[in-house]
């Protein structure tokens, strides 16, 4: 039986660094990625896809052009395609992202914070 249960706590315990996105599951052409985040991210959007943020542990904020969302443990949000957003975490937050394979964390903005080292854990 090769179908593996993903335990978020166990997976996070294997992630030694902040801001390194790790792949834990794939559903059709969608990736499920974990990240330990503690930073102010940049404004960006994903013109081609919606994106899900789910907080596994901690608190994050997502600034939008017309307000700021606050998400705690056990909360999620869908950022619609094309909507500019700027995520940030004041303290470390453990986040699950769900989006199509190949979606870049910096979306249309690019730049130095673009993560290109995605690996399975």
120 forms part of the interface with a second copy (CB under 8 A): no
CB 115 within 8 A of CB 21: yes
- Neighbouring CB atoms inside 10 A of 94's CB total 21
104 forms part of the interface with a second copy (CB under 8 A): no
Q: Please count the residues of the chain.
A: 121
**In this chain, which of 14, 18, 78, 90 binds a second copy, going by CB under 8 A?**
78
CB 49 within 8 A of CB 111: no
28 forms part of the interface with a second copy (CB under 8 A): yes
Please give the residue ranges that form the binding site for a second copy (CB under 8 A): 1, 3-9, 25-28, 30, 32, 49-52, 56, 64, 66-67, 69-71, 74-81, 83, 98-100
């Amino acid at each position: 039986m090769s179908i593996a249960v993903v335990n978020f706590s166990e997976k996070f315990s294997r992630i030694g660094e902040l801001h390194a996105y790790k792949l834990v599951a794939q559903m059709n052409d969608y990736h499920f990625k974990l990240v330990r985040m503690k930073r102010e991210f940049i404004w960006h959007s994903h013109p081609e896809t919606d994106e899900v943020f789910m907080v596994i542990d901690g608190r994050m904020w997502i600034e939008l052009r017309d307000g700021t969302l606050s998400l705690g443990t056990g909360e999620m949000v869908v950022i619609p395609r094309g909507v500019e957003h700027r995520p940030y975490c004041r303290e470390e937050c453990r986040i699950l992202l769900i989006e199509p394979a190949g979606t870049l964390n910096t979306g249309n903005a690019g730049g130095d914070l673009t993560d290109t080292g995605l690996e399975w854990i």
